[in-house]
Amino acid sequence: MTLPSYSQLPAFEKTGERYAWDAFGPGDQLGTINLLTPERVIAASRLVRSGRVINLSLPLDFPKTLYNGETRSGYKHRMTTNRGGRDDVLDNFAMQGSSQWDGLRHVRYREFGYWGGREDADVDGKGELGIERWAQHGIVGRGVLIDAVRYFESQGRPLSPTERVCITGPDIEACAAAQGVSLQQGDILLLRTGWLPWFQALSTDEQEALRGRLNPGEDGLDMPGLDPGVATAAWLWDHAIAAIAADNPALEALRVDAEVGFQHRRLIPLLGMAIGELWDLEALALDCSTDGVYEFMLVSAPLNVPGAVGSPCNAYAIK
């Protein structure tokens, strides 16, 4: 699959931002998941050597204290019993409440619309861009762990989970090289920043004190993550990255700098890129550091919910 370079993509005259709405053909609803071709799935399957399966998903009831409002405040698990067995129901289950994918319905780019230039009538009336498109395709391919925690520490610049450090494309390349792995088109990158284990180690009261602080204001949280600039969006596109996920709540570094912009508004609606948040990468990082192998087959099954905005990632690394 041959894609135009980022510099060859058309741009909006009003903002200068580039978009890839025609890169995968008219009417596309998969975005960069198109890069996970059968050939790349077969190649990823050849990475399985030991058969070890490593879970990358948090329990679905964690975190409960990070988000404001009812949407992601945690579900209630109701169970019914009778003489024949049990059934159960989840009330107020947030599709993006734990380890997750942000789907192409999640963010629009200003007045220009969602992926492909779609408007609310296309999304709500015609049912386009629902997460079921990714669920039916499957997210299966070559995963690569980018262990920024270990790399930055080896460079004498240890990452702090409470400081805003922007991890750029060249940083990712340098980290991959230090790990002895080369990047390939169609890769699924997993960026380990160290934020999640820091958050997990906090007491319940300390976690509760952070509720609702994922914002750009004075009380917003600072944390390391993907660089939010145009150059990094261009790097991801030019390297034909199929998806990228991290162990922090936003993938990109927080707090948001309004002058630089919010990477969500480039990657999702303009480049159609699958991004993941709050993935549990600790067991995978330990395994990779032990055997020195940072590539693996990655399998993720978004929930097949028609019209959903996002989904639990339900992801495994298979080595």
Q: Residue 222 CB: number of other CB atoms within 10 A? A: 14
Q: What is the DSSP code string of 46-107? A: TT-SS--EEE----TT--SSSS-SSTTS--EEEEEEETTEEEEEEES--TTSSSEEE-TTS-
For the chain, the average pLDDT equals 95
Residue 219: is its pLDDT beyond 90?
no
pLDDT at residue 60 above 80? yes
**pTM (2 decimals)?**
0.96
- For each of the domains in the chain, give its residue range(s) and CATH number, in order of start: 6-318 (3.50.30.50)
In this predicted structure, the answer to whether residue 71 has a pLDDT above a threshold of 70 is no
As a whole number of angstroms, the distance between CA 281 and CA 283 comes to: 6
Report whether pLDDT(211) > 90. Answer: no
CA 110 to each of CA 14, 56, 122, 134, 276: distance values in angstroms, whole numbers, following the listed order: 11, 33, 16, 24, 22
Give which of 210, 188, 185 is closest to 199, Cα–Cα.
210
Q: Cβ contacts of residue 195 below 8 Å, gap of 6+?
A: 161, 223, 224, 225, 246, 247, 248, 249
Cross-sheet strand order for the sheet of 310-312 = 53-55, 315-318, 295-300, 139-147, 188-192, 243-246, 274-277, 100-102, 310-312
Contact yes or no for 20/9 (Cβ under 8 A): yes
Cis peptide before 255 (omega within 30 of 0): yes
The two counts, helices (H) then strands (E), for the chain are 10, 13
Question: DSSP letter at 282?
Answer: H
Contact 99, 275 (CB under 8 A): no
Give residue-wise pLDDT tens across range 270-289.
999 999 999 999 999 999 99
pLDDT tops 80 at residue 69: no
Residues 215, 194: Cα–Cα separation, whole Å:
20
Spell out the residues 6+ positions from residue 157 whose beta carbon is closer than 8 angstroms to its own: none
Count Cβ atoms below 10 Å from residue 278 Cβ, excluding itself. 25
pLDDT (0 to 100) of residue 274: 97
Each residue of 179-195: pLDDT tens digit?
A: 999 999 999 999 999 99
Distance CA 210, CA 208 (A): 5
Which residue shows structure tokens 């596309």? 28
| Number of other CB atoms surrounding residue 91 within 10 Å | 8
